Chains A and B, each alone.
Chain A
Amino acid sequence: AAGVIQSPRHLIKEKRETATLKCYPIPRHDTVYWYQQGPGQDPQFLISFYEKMQSDKGSIPDRFSAQQFSDYHSELNMSSLELGDSALYFCASSLGYNQPQHFGDGTRLSIL
């Protein structure tokens, strides 16, 4: 069965650069979530979209923005990257809100 696809798997950037992470949800899933997971931490909710509209916002810095496109894929744009942004970034999708989420493999972002 198709799963959530994230790209790239690994990304290395320098401070103050920008990065774009992509997420392709499971077909027919209408809800997408973004999470940030630092070493030894639990996943922190950043933002979610339902039917291409922003639904809820968590601890997403102002330097980050995200959107969901007409084909339901989503992108997380990160600017003015800081060392503390180094983390695993997960995308998840679900069929409807308040439903079980299915996670992608994640993007490992390293800031030098």
Chain B
Amino acid sequence: RKEVEQDPGPFNVPEGATVAFNCTYSNSASQSFFWYRQDCRKEPKLLMSVYSSGNEDGRFTAQLNRASQYISLLIRDSKLSDSATYLCVVNMGGGSYIPTFGRGTSLIVHP
């Protein structure tokens, strides 16, 4: 079982839709959490950090549920340009800070 798991999708949604992705992690000592987006054959780009209290950046909202060990990303009013793979990254705790990526969730926004 992978330490960080994501539904690979693809999520196929029309423009303007709201879509949410979850990412579960296995290590309860994990300390920091991030969402990245990656376009085909390009580098991952930081979308947002995920804080315990939840945080929002424009159309994007990230939340952390430590009890159930998952993070979520909500995208409102989807744009064509949101089409990408969304990767969650968890820094495993327990004395090391090895960043572990999920396999990514593919989002396709269509007209």
Chain A interfacial positions (CB closer than 8 Å to B):
33, 41-45, 48, 55-56, 58, 88, 90, 97-106
Contacts and interface: CB of A to CB of B under 8 A. Distances in A.
B98 A56 contact: yes
Interface string B41-57: 11111100100000000
- B: contact size bracket: 20 to 34
B100 interface: yes
A73 B104 CA distance: 29
B97 A56 contact: yes
A44 B45 CA distance: 16
27 contacts: A41-B103, A42-B101, A42-B102, A42-B104, A43-B87, A43-B101, A44-B101, A45-B98, A45-B99, A45-B100, A48-B97, A55-B97, A56-B96, A88-B41, A90-B43, A98-B31, A98-B91, A98-B97, A99-B32, A100-B49, A101-B34, A101-B46, A101-B99, A102-B46, A103-B43, A105-B42, A106-B43
Interface of B: 31-32, 34, 41-46, 49, 87, 89, 91, 96-104
A97 B32 CA distance: 10
Contacts of A48: 97-98
Contacts of A56: 96-98
A89 B102 CA distance: 17
B31 to A, nearest CB: 6
Nearest to A31: B97
Contacts of B104: 42
A92 B90 CA distance: 15
A103 B45 contact: yes
Contacts of B42: 105-106
Contacts of B101: 42-45
